[in-house]
Structures are given as structure tokens and as C-alpha cells.
Amino acid sequence: MPIGKRTFQSAGQISQHLIPGGYSRIDSVKGAAGLASANNGVIMGKSKGGKPQTLLQFNTRAEAVNALRGGDLMEAVRLAFNPGNDYVPQTIYAMRVNTAAAGTLSLYETPPATNLMITVTSLDYGLWVNQIQLTLASASPSGKKVTISYQSDEDEVFDDIVRQSFTIEYTDAACSMTIVNKSSAKTLTTTAGYFNSNPITLTDFDTMGEMAAFINAQTDYTCTVIAGQENASPIELDAVSGLDIYTTAKTVMSDMQAIIDTINAGSARVKAVAANADVDRAVPGNVILFITGGTEGTYDVAQWTSALVVLEAENIQFISTPDDAVVLTGLPAQLKDHCTAMSAVTGRKERQFLIGAPWKAAAIATEIAAAQAIAVTSNSKYGVYVFNGGTQYDVNGVLQNRGGCFAACMLMGMACTTAINMPLTFKTLNLIELEWALSTSQLEQLTGKGVCPINYNTNGNPHCVRQIQTYQTDDLKWNEFSMAKEMLFASRDLRAYIESLFAGKPGTSLSGGVLKGTVEARLDMYKELGIFITNPDTGLAWWNVIISISGDTILIDYDAYVTAPVNFMFITNHMHEMVTL
């Protein structure tokens, strides 16, 4: 089980922390420790950078831009980090759905293609990596120099790459040494002395120090490990052929491994591995090469299916995407099925999705009808479909049209930072101008079919008119996004909390009302967090806690009032005419 985060909920916002320190926001403080995650959101889609089908964590917009490099996914994450209402998410996760490939280049002993020694692979994935260039050159006075370049960015330069491993000398007679280091043989032999008839097998020793001690134990040999190389592996040695070691100590090198280790320790662009399976280790020859083979990969329903399978194992509460369900017509159904399964008894990872409409391509009536059809078909307790996007600047400062699908990502960014009980209704969005200025009748058409509309408020600012979900039944608890969020959180948190305390423990731990007291204390916490609301007539936010124990099975039952958003205010003004006599 991962280390529990500490929860800080106040001022209508929530954040969860692992790093010790002081944290503050302006307003009254209401906090709780040990709560389940309540605000992890992932945006999924297509980008130019980032490892495919892997959950990527970003704590700032700059991190996301640097990693994702471009595409709708990157722009959606940027918008989610600044969605409006001064909400700034602590973390946004992203998943690159398109199955991009990394690029590679090969370093040979004798370029261009004799004796492959090292394979260099880009750390990132996509077409852009094919512009990474590696230069391998001779250093002065010895060793190698590696330069890794990308366009006009600052070069990565690693100079004077050399690694001395040990010195060896034989004093009785003329003697030379050979080291074979390839997949079929890893041996050290000499033409005289003990190792003439008893070759060393390099894999018999874990370290250079152990091997040197064994060599020194034989008559007339002197072996000295170079300082710092005592714990290095003998299988990293460069091959040696007929090296004269009689009466003069000779140095044995691991320069090929030094090149690999230097690249892996210092480069943010590439990694390197030994590739000399069938030939002896040797230092590659000088070359100037570009990475090749990087691709954007495919992006379709099959890739979405695979990505959602990966997501099943992750601690995520909200899913969104800038994909507008035009390219992927089956996307709403996929997300509905995914969230339904994850929120079921066996899923154990309750989550909701927020998706949206494309930028307008037809008349308003046609666009509204299309949005209504998607919402009705989705009919999900766990999903929001957003209509009406707007304009905003992209990473290059160019004004772009962003459909309701991008507005959905912004609302998800808000959900990642708002308190558990805070609705998204009436929250302003950081958009410059909306696609449509919707009329009251158009808003009613949309909300009546479970579409979450964005429109101008009375101050002329874009805002979320109502955070309604696509569920096609008049059930407030499942119609409202925030109420569903509260119920899913309480279900997830209470389960995890009780499980952590009692699962796998002897039944005696349940005696004396301990379990019931534990449950009631947790329900009180939900009341304090504003997830449950007190009935003014009864004074109760929760009641009727029933614990049943049968063998190794515990049944827990309770009732509670879940907090609803304030949507409507009806005011009756009783005006009287004053008549004086």
C-alpha cells in the first residue's frame, strides 16, 4: 500500500500532500488526514511527445509542455492548469494514447556497419526524435567525446570518456594476455603461467576486486584494480588480443562501458545499451548520426481500448480528453463502460468522465441536436458531456478555436482542485470568447437532455451553467456531477479505510463495538468535510449504522444525506401599496 497523503481542504479547494512543509491558502481551514485520493484527474489523447499509454504526472504547465511537446493533449493539459476562477490544480496526469515509437541509432566498431557495439535509443517517442543527432569523436589526449544535439537547443557534451579498470603483470617468462568478451565466451587467458591452462571465466566474479584477488593468488602475477573500479563487473571489460604483460604492468580498459554509462547518466535525450552479443567488446568508431525510426504511431479505438486497460490499475478519479468524439465515434461509449466497470463492486476505483463537443461545423440547431443525441446515448451516472467551447491562445500565442471537448478538460482541472462537495456550476472558464451565445430556450434544450452547457453569465464571462451529467433519469444524486463525486468518494474512502484497519486481522479486533465506532467516526468526518449535510429537522447527517458479522464476512449498512449543490433560488416579493387615511 502506498504512503498515505495528507489532505488539506479549505476555501472550497482540496489538495493532498506527501512532502513535509507548510501549506496555506487564504480562507478558513478544514482539514483531514488519511483520506483516499479525491482529486486525481487524467487527460487522454494524442500528443507529439511523452511515453505512450503510460500515466504521466505534471505539476506545472511548463512540465507538460516540455514533455508532451505539442498536439491537442498538450494544449488541453495547459488549459486544465489554468481553467478559471483562480483554481490551479496541484497535479494533472496525462496519457498519450497514440502508440508512438522511439528512434534508434547504431554505433559500430568499424563504421558504418562492422561489429555492432552500442545501440542508442531516444528517451522520448515520436517523429521529433529523428532530429536528435549524436557525434562520437576522439578526445584529447585520449578517450572519446560524445555530443548529443537537437536543433538549436543546447548540446549535451560529454568529453574525455575513458575508464581504466586494472593493471596486470607477469614476471616469470614472456607472456601475453587475451580477453574475449562476447556472448559465446567471456574469458581471460595468458600464454604463460597459471592462466595458460586455466582460463578465467569473467562471469565467475561479481567484481573486479574479486577477480584481481584471485589473479594475485597465483604465482608470478600482480593485478591492481584502479581506484573506484573495485565493484565494477568484469563483463564490462573491453576485449584484448595478445597484450604483452611480461615485466611491465599493462592497463586493461572498459571504455565501451564508459561510453554507455556516461550517456545514461547524463543525457536527457537518449539512452544506450551494449549490443555486441556476437562480437568482442570494443570502442566504437567515430561517427555523426541522426536517430531514425521515431514515429507518431496509430490513434484509433483500438489504442483507446488498450490505454483504458492500462488506466484500470491507476489511482484516478476523473478522465477527460480533448478528442471530440468525431474522430473516435465510439469514445463516449468506451468511457461510459470503463467508468461503470471501475465504479462497480469489483472495480474498486470509482471514477467519472468529462468529455465534450467539437468546434461548431453546422448551424446551432444541428449542433445542439447532435450534443443531445450523444448525451442521451451515453446515459451515464458517471459522465458529463460539455457543449460550447471558446477561443484561447495556444502555447505559441496564436488564438485558437477550442470546442466543448477542451472546456470539458478545463472543468476536469477544476474538479481536481475544488473541494469534494464543491459544484462546478457557475464557475467561470478561462476562455476569451465562446462559440455561441446561447438563449434560455437553447440552454433548457441542452440541460433537459443531460448536456452540460457553457454560456456567458450576467457579467459577460464564460461559465458552466450547470454541471449536469448525462444520466437520463430525474435523480438529483446522479444528475449532478458534484453529488456523484461525493458518493463515489465516500464509497471509495470508507472501503479503503475499513479494509486497512480490519482486513486480515483476527475477528477479536471487532469486539466491543470497535468496528461500529470506527465507521461512525468516519461518517462524522464526511459530515465535517461537507460531503454529508445535516437535516435541520432531525439534526442527523447520517444514521442507522448496522453492522452484521457472519463467519469471515462483515456487512456494513448506513444511511446519509449527501450534500446537493445550490442550483435554484426562488424569491417571492410581497409588495403592498400603502394607503393612508
Domains of the chain with bracketed CATH: 6-98+298-483 (3.40.50), 104-162+258-290 (2.60.40), 164-253 (no CATH)
What pTM does this model have? 0.85
Q: How confident is the model at residue 24 (pLDDT cuts 50, 70, 90)?
A: very low
Given a cut of 70, is residue 17 above it in pLDDT?
no
2 or 183: whose pLDDT is higher? 183
Q: How far apart are CA 203 and CA 93, in angstroms?
A: 43
Give me the chain's average pLDDT, please: 90
pLDDT of res. 26: 37
DSSP per position, 242-304: EEE-BSS-EEEE-HHHHHHHHHHHH-SSEEEEE--TTS---PPPPEEEE-B--B----SHHHH
The mean pLDDT value for 556-573 works out to 90
Q: How confident is the model at residue 2 (pLDDT cuts 50, 70, 90)?
A: low
552 or 363: whose pLDDT is higher? 363
pLDDT of res. 30: 43
Ranges 16-20, 112-116, 293-297, 468-472: which has the least confidence: 16-20
For the chain, the maximum distance between any two Cα atoms, rounded to a whole number of angstroms, is: 139
Given a cut of 70, is residue 484 above it in pLDDT?
yes
Q: How far apart are CA 443 and CA 436, in angstroms?
A: 11
| Cell numbers given for 92 | 494533472
Given a cut of 50, is residue 25 above it in pLDDT?
no
Ranges 42-51, 224-233, 320-329, 357-366: which has the least confidence: 320-329
Amino acid at 287: V
Closest to 178 measured CA to CA, from 202, 210, 152, 160: 202
Amino acid at 381: K
Q: How confident is the model at residue 330 (pLDDT cuts 50, 70, 90)?
A: confident
Q: What is the pLDDT of residues 159-215, one digit of tens each?
A: 999 999 999 999 999 999 999 999 999 999 999 999 999 999 999 999 999 999 999
For residue 350, what is the DSSP state? -
For residue 90, what is the DSSP state? S
Determine phi and psi for 539, rounding to 5 degrees. Answer: 75, 15
Contact 73, 98 (CB under 8 A): no
Given a cut of 90, is residue 252 above it in pLDDT?
yes
pLDDT of res. 246: 96
Given a cut of 70, is residue 34 above it in pLDDT?
no
Asked if the bond preceding 536 is cis, omega within 30° of 0, the reply is: no
For residue 52, what is the DSSP state? B
pLDDT of res. 328: 59
Q: How far apart are CA 338 and CA 332, in angstroms?
A: 10
Asked if the bond preceding 83 is cis, omega within 30° of 0, the reply is: no
Q: Which helix (H) or strand (E) holds 369?
A: helix 364-378
Q: How far apart are the first and last CA of the chain?
A: 81
312 or 141: whose pLDDT is higher? 312
Strand partners, 180: 187
Contact 452, 320 (CB under 8 A): no
Ranges 111-125, 146-160, 559-573: which has the least confidence: 559-573
Q: How confident is the model at residue 310 (pLDDT cuts 50, 70, 90)?
A: very high
Percent of the chain with pLDDT over 90: 77
Q: How confident is the model at residue 38 (pLDDT cuts 50, 70, 90)?
A: confident
